[in-house]
Each structure stands twice: as structure tokens, then as C-alpha cells.
Amino acid sequence: MIGVALKGLAARKVRALLTAFAVVIGVAMVSGTFILTDTTKSSFTGLFAASFDKTDAVVSGKEIVKGSTAGGEARVPAVLLERLRALPQVADAGGTISPNETNAADVIGADGKKVGRESLAISVDRAHPRFSPLKLASGTWADGAGQVVLDAGTAEKEHYKLGQTVVVSTLGHPHRYRLTGTVTFGDTKSLGFASIAAWDVRTAQRLFDREGQFDTLSLAARKGTSQAELVRAVRPLVGHRLDVKSSDQQAKDNAQNVEKSLSMIRNFLLAFGVIALLVGAFVIYNTLSITVAQRTREFATLRTLGASRKQVMRSVVTEGLVVGLLASAVGLVVGFGIAKGMLALIGALGVELPDAATVVAARTVWVSLLLGTGITLLATIVPARRATRIPPIAAVREGAVLPGTGLAGRSPRKGAVVTGVSVAAALAGVAAGGLSTGAVAALLSVGVLGLLTGIAMLAPHLVAPLTRVVGWPARRVGGVAGDLAGANARRNPRRTASTAAALMIGLLLVTVVAVLGAGLKSSMQTAVADQLHADYVIDGNEDLPFRAGEGERLARTPGVTAASHVRSDTALVRGEEQDVSGVDPATIARFYTFKWSDGSPRTLARLGENGALVTKDYAKANGLRTGSPVALITPGGVRRTLVVRGIYEPPKTSQLLGAVSMTQRGFDHAFAQPKNSFTFLDAPRGAGTRIEAAARSMGDVKFHTGAAYAKDATKDIAVMLAMFYVLLSFSVVVSLLGMVNTMVLSVFERTREIGMMRTIGMTRRQARQMIRHESVITALIGATLGLGLGVAIAALVTEALSDYALPLTIPLVPIAGFTVVAVLAGLAAAVLPARRASRLDVLDALHYE
């Protein structure tokens, strides 16, 4: 029977190829994601290992606050360096300045803007170069206050020459330096996303307020001393605010941080690969169901010749196994190409990854093969079981068809029951009060999955009424061909429904994304507009805070009548990381609207240096009320105790202030390097041009008019939606292949019928029109179900998120666009089968068996 299965595949090459493509796309996304993230991880892991190649242990400040943009680690006192050098286990030691701060040393180009999205600053001790991750590529190391070295990638991109004067802004203060050399980070010319500037140790200490301090100490062990022995010898000297690790452990920890970031990207991309594979499962199921029905007499003949039911099932399953295995192998190779292309694209965008060979891990191979083959086999089981039910007598019976199932007759009632119960469960989840978030999510998930199952059971019985509706244009435009197309769609409703189901899933997902995205965008715009009223708004690039001094300079722009700054950083509040804002009580109320739960506008004047405002949600979650103390630890280790003076209720989304707000003066005393998240300005329209020009020259900030800021703040939503659409388009492509497959098989099945119609006068053009109209009708059925279910599911999710004031917003333009995509998909799917139908030889078709 294996030979029969293989010969069957060889005889139906087009069907096998189209079925395989559905698996190839999904597996390629999965394998490409693994290869891309594994290669990126390997690149950085190798870079970290090379950075500590000649180091055995590292002493650094313990990280107090992870989310701080100003660095959240304690400093290492310089006196510790000499004490460590005196240890008998230490052969050499050196100190490094490397501020863990966003944009610590921006290289400013000729246009006055920073040349990299981010920047890194580091010192190099010429007496101990072994401890530096930098390698001199050209020139000499910087020596003295007026000298600097830059990474080779930045120097090359900006066409800097040795000896040229360059401008580097450290902590917001620009300085001019003579470029004495260029460096590589390991063997990499540039980190791509960040420029690198390096000074001698003494200069770096002065620039970054590190006099008598270092950020890290690097140690080399004496011969015969292991890394573990060195760490044990050093640990008693470092104190509780510092940490000592072996270089191997430090490199491992750095790699784990990269892995955490990559795992989010990996899981995100894998989700779309699995979606494409699930859509492919519908294609495989539909294709095999059709071919099993078309091969009724073939399987009956095998039964007549002595084949058992198990052998027939084994034959069909073998076909699925071969298709799944070969398609998965091809998908694995295609995924390798996708990963290489993505790496090349990253390089073209200016992000140079450290050199590393492309990584194809064993996990990538077996997961890709197992996932693709497994889903194919699962989709094969039902058609294979149907094949075993073909009786031997069907071999001699004219027009024999597959026997029906008991489920087919009862599916309308069962489908209605499943749909009703699922909707009730979903409504109970979103409407019932007092349920936990987990319970609501569980009820909603069960309800949505059940709803999809119920609609799938009802779909064949919805085909006839839907065909009459969506087929109206075909009947009006296509005449007889359009009428025949509608009749063909209704003839086998299960086939039509399962063909449309693949497209339905893709459009359902994009509709849910579109509706929720539109609601989120509307909610965010409303939230910003409710909080803010300013003529002009300044915020930071990449949603990062900017130097407080830049905000002050903008406030001094001629024509500005009022200004208020909102400082921001992350601190440990009551032991947990929390966003903290610093506001000016005298000016903030002019620009920001407080909706007081406990307090009044007079509360701002009574804040004092130790007063705090907290949001209602934060107060409720932590049992706070007016007069409650709030303990706070800044990234620099400064401890403060604030007292709650007022509680206010901001919108659930797009909160412009942190959960805890203190006075700007108190913030500046507690946080060593204060930064602004916003600067609000009032000024006449004529001053706007001057403010915008001043902001443009700074590089770190973005200028907005107050009227446009609410819309500008949601631009990332549009980018996110576009990314979702691109990734979900893979599932739409898979469903398109399924439609092509079904239409081709349908033409094969109706060869004699088409020949008969040609005999009685149907033209080639009418034959093509009939197939095209049938394909478009099928696509529109899928679109109707997908768009309708997508809106319904989005409505349920929106209701579940009602506490966040998320409105149900139907984006009519995108939904109309999705409908057009469905029509185009139907037309594209009909090209090949329509051409075949129009080219059938009438005489051959009439005696086709």
C-alpha cells in the first residue's frame, strides 16, 4: 500500500505541490525565526566572551533599579582598586568608566544632530589595555582632555579623518575633541544602533562625575589561581553594595539578558508561524477530503482486491506523511534563506551584528520537521478514516460517492447548541462581576474557541444563504456563468465551507487586530486630550526621557509665555520598581488636568519637598490614603520617605505622569541626573517656528503642537498594526493556495460536466468566467464569516476591557480593504483552474472517467 500511495502522489503532482506549499510557508516562518534569533544570540554571546577573554573576575555595583535610563548601579570606589591589586591572587587589575545611561555620549554630526540612535561611553586605561573590549583599529588612544576615539563604523559613516575636530555631547553638554583613533568592539567595526566614544580614564571620570570612582573593576588571576578562587579572595573586600563575578559568569549573565529580549521576539514571530501552519491544516484537510471523494472507485477496487481498511487508511496517511515530511524539509531550507535575508536587512539598516556563523540548532531541525509533519498528519486522519468506509461494491457502482456520516445530519443542531453555549460563556466572562482576571480570561477563551467551533459546524448550512447574497453581483454581471458559479458553490456546501474556512481564519485575525487597534488608538487619543492642554509639547525620541537642561533651554525660547517640565525616572517604591514623576506645583495645573479622588487644586501648593501625589489605582493596590508614607530608593541609592498629599484618577491608558509624582525640586535632589519626559509650553503661534527650530537642533527631543500631540502619540499603533498585517498575510497566502488547490480539483472532478456544457454552447470565455465567479463567491463567503466573527470577537474583548475605556471602533476603511483583498484572492486563485477549464478538449472531456 505504500507503493500505491507513492504512485498516487506522483500521479497528482500539482495537487501535491500546492498542498506542500501550505506547509512550507508555515515551517519556513518557524525555522527562520529560530535561525534568526539563535544566530543573533550567538553573535552577542561570542562578543561578550571575547570582551572578557583576558579577564578572570569583574567587580561592579549592584543594580538597584533595572529600569532607570540614568543607570541604576552603585559606583565602585577607586581606593578599592589598590587594595585588590595587593591581593596575592591578583596578577593585574584595572578600572573602567562605562556609564549605564541612555545616550551617555552622543556624537554630533555636521547637521547638529546625533549620528546614532543610541550612544555608549567608555574609558580605556592605556596601562591596562587587556581589560578593554575595544581594539585600536587606527591612530592612537586618546590621552588628555581634548582627545577622543570613536568606533570605526561611525567614523567611516561620517567620513571623519584622524586629527579632525569632532563634537561629542556627554550628559547633555557638547564638547569639541581631536579624533586620535578609531576602534572596534571586539572584531566588530560598529554596533550599528549605537556610536561609541572612548577617553582616557581621568578624562572620563571628569566628564561623567566619577572622580575617585569607577563603574567596574577588571581582575586577572595569577598563574595557578582559578576564577572561583579569585572570586572567593575578592568577595570579602567589596562590601554589600558591590558584586564580584567570574568573567565567565558575567559573560553568561550578559548573554541571558540578550536571550530575554530575543525570546520575546522569537515567541512573537513563532505565533504567526503556527497560525500559518494551522491555516495550512485546513488546506490539507480540504484537499485530501476532495481527493478521497474523487478516488472512491479506486479505493473500492483496492478493497475488492483484498485490501483491508487498515491498509487503505495506511495508504492515505502515508501520502500525508510524505507530503508533510518533504514540505517540512523544504520549509526548513526556505527558513534558512529567510533568516539570511533578515540578517542582511538588519545590516542594510546600519545595525552591524558581531561576526558569527549562521546557527541551525538541532532544536530548529526537529521542531520544524515535527511541527510541519505532525500538523499534516493530524489534518490527514479524518480523510483517511473516511476512505476506510468505502465499501467494495462502490467499485462497480456508477456515480458512487462516500457514505455520509451521522454527524453531518445532526451538525446544525449541535452547531447551534455549541455556538449558543459559547456565546453565553463569553458573555458571562465579560459581564459577570467579582470574577478574577484569570477566570474572565478563561471564560472568554473558552467562549471564543467554542464560537469558532460552532460556526465551523454551522458553516456548511450557511453556504446556501450566503451564496445567494454574495453571489448577487456574479448573477448580475456574469449572466449564465454567474448563475452556474453560484449553483456550483451550493452543490457541495461542505467543500465550499472548508475552502472558505482557511481564508476566514486569516481575515478573522486581521479584523480582530484592526478593530482592537482602532479602539486602542481612539482610547489613547481621548486619554491624552483629557489630560493635556498645552500649545506645544516636547517629548523624547524613541519614547526616552531627554536632558532636563534641554527642556530649560526650550522654555527660554523668545515668545514662550509659560512652561512646565515633567521629570521622570524609575525608582524602587515600597520595594517595587515604579515610574516616578517630578512636577512643578506652581505650573503643572496650567497644562495638566488632575481628576481628584482625594484632594483639590490647593493640594499642589501643599506638596512641599517630601509630598507625593499617587494615582487611584496605585493607592488602592497598596492600601494608601492621604498621609500615608511612601518609601523610595533612587537608582543612585538615595533613600527618601514621601507622604501622600493627594490621590487623583488618570485615564487607564496613556497616563502622562507616573504612578507616584513628587515636586520637581525634590526630584532633582533625589535623582542624580534628572531628565524630562515632557516639556509643556504655551506661546503664540508665531513662536512655534522658533521652538521647533530649537528642538530640531537638539537631536534628543521631538516637537509637537498641542493640537496634534494626541494623534502623534498613537503613531506607534499604526506601525504595530502594519507589522501584524504583514505577518498575518502569510496565513492569507496559505489560504489562497488552498483555494487554488480546491478549484483545480473541482475542475478535474467536473471534467465531463464542463465538456457537456461546452457541447451545448458554453464558450471558453464563459467557462473561465464561471470558475472565476465561483472562486470569488467562495472567497466572499470566507470574508463574510471572517469579518463578522472578527468584529464579534473584538466586541467581546472590548467589553472585557471596559475598565480601560476601550471603545468598540469599527474601522470601515480597513474592513473594506480586507473585502477587496478577499475578492482579489478569489480572482488570483481562479487563474490556473479557469485556464484549464477553458482549454479542455470537448471530446476528451466527454469520455473522461
pLDDT of residue 625: 92
User: Does residue 441 belong to any structural domain of this protein?
Assistant: no
| pLDDT given at position 406 | 47
How many Cα neighbours within 13 Å face the side chain of 199? 25
- Find, among 253, 93, 101, the residue nearest to 172 by Cα: 101
Tell me how many degrees the CA angle 602-607-608 measures, rounded to the nearest 5. Answer: 130
Q: How far is CA 731 from CA 376, 508, 727, 781, in A?
A: 16, 11, 8, 17
Are residues 167 and 75 in contact, defined by beta-carbon separation less than 8 angstroms? Answer: no
Query: Considering the domain boundaries, does residue 467 fall inside one?
Result: yes
Residue pair 431/795 in contact (Cβ under 8 Å)? The answer is: no
Q: Is 439 domain-assigned?
A: no
Q: Which domain holds residue 318?
A: 1-53+251-402
Pairwise CA distance, residues 32 & 729, whole Å = 16
Residues 144 and 178 in one domain: yes
3-state helix, strand, coil split of the chain in percent (to 5) is: 60, 15, 25
Indicate whether this model's pTM tops 0.75.
yes
CB of 841 closer than 8 Å to CB of 749: no
Distance CA 149, CA 120 (A): 12
Contact yes or no for 180/166 (Cβ under 8 A)? no
Integer Cα distance of 565 and 438 in angstroms: 39
Residues 392 and 512 in one domain: no
Asked if residue 168 and residue 99 are part of one domain, the reply reads yes
Q: Which of 225, 250, 275 is the last residue of a domain?
A: 250
CB 166, CB 115: distance < 8 Å: no
CA distances from 366 to 30, 34, 363 (A): 11, 12, 5
Residues in the chain: 849
Q: Which helix (H) or strand (E) holds 165?
A: strand 165-170
Q: Cα-flanking dihedrals φ and ψ of residue 197, to 5°? A: -125, 135
What is the distance between the alpha carbons of residues 208 and 205, in angstroms, rounded to a whole number? 5
Which of 224, 250, 276 is the C-terminal boundary of a domain?
250
Q: What is the pLDDT of residue 531?
A: 92
Are 795 and 808 within 8 A, CB to CB? yes
Q: Which residues contact 282 (CB under 8 A, 6 or more apart)?
A: 379, 498, 501, 502, 505, 735, 738
In a domain, 334, yes or no: yes
Looking at the domain assignment, is residue 437 inside a domain? Answer: no
- How wide is the angle at C-alpha 513 spanned by C-alphas 511 and 517, nearest 5°? 120
Q: How far apart are CA 612 and CA 580, in angstroms?
A: 10
Burial of 256 (0-12, 13-18, 19+ CB in 10 A): exposed
Helix H or strand E encompassing 623? none
- Whether 765 maps to a domain, the answer reads yes
All residues at 6 or more sequence positions from 412 whose CB lies less than 8 Å from its CB, including other chains = 457, 458, 461
Strand, helix or coil at 325? helix
Q: Is the dihedral of CA 418, 419, 425, 428 positive or negative?
A: negative
For the chain, the domain total comes to: 4
Asked if residue 256 and residue 243 are part of one domain, the reply reads no
pLDDT under 50 in the chain at which residues? 395-400, 402, 406-407, 409
pLDDT in tens, 773-796: 888 888 898 889 889 888 988 888
Per the domain annotation, does 408 fall within a domain? no
Q: Are 375 and 321 in contact (CB under 8 A)?
A: no
Q: Which triple of cell numbers denotes residue 263?
A: 525570546
Q: What is the DSSP string of 79-130?
A: HHHHHHHTSTTEEEEEEE----STTSEEEE-TTSSBSSSEEEEEEE-TT-GG
pLDDT value for 400: 47
Task: Give me Rg for the CA atoms of the chain.
Answer: 34
Identify whether residues 691 and 593 lie together within a single domain. Answer: yes
Same domain (yes/no): 262, 332? yes
Q: Confirm whether 446 is domain-assigned.
A: no
CA distance 831 to 387: 30
pLDDT score for 548: 87
Task: Note whether 677 and 715 are same-domain residues.
Answer: no
69/109 same-domain check:
yes
- 666, 699, 732: which is the final residue of a domain? 699
CB atoms within 10 A of CB 721: 20
Dihedral sign (CA 7, 12, 16, 17): positive
CA distances from 840 to 387, 399, 844 (A): 29, 22, 8
Do the beta carbons of residue 77 and residue 212 sit within 8 Å?
Answer: yes
271 with 134, same domain: the answer is no
DSSP secondary structure string for all residues of 534-547: -SEEEEEGGG--EE
Continuous H helices in 492-547: 493-531
Q: Are residues 528 and 556 in the same domain?
A: no
Q: How far apart are CA 435 and CA 828, in angstroms?
A: 48
Whether residues 264 and 333 share a domain: the answer is: yes
Residues 195, 102: one domain? yes
What is the reported pLDDT for 538?
93
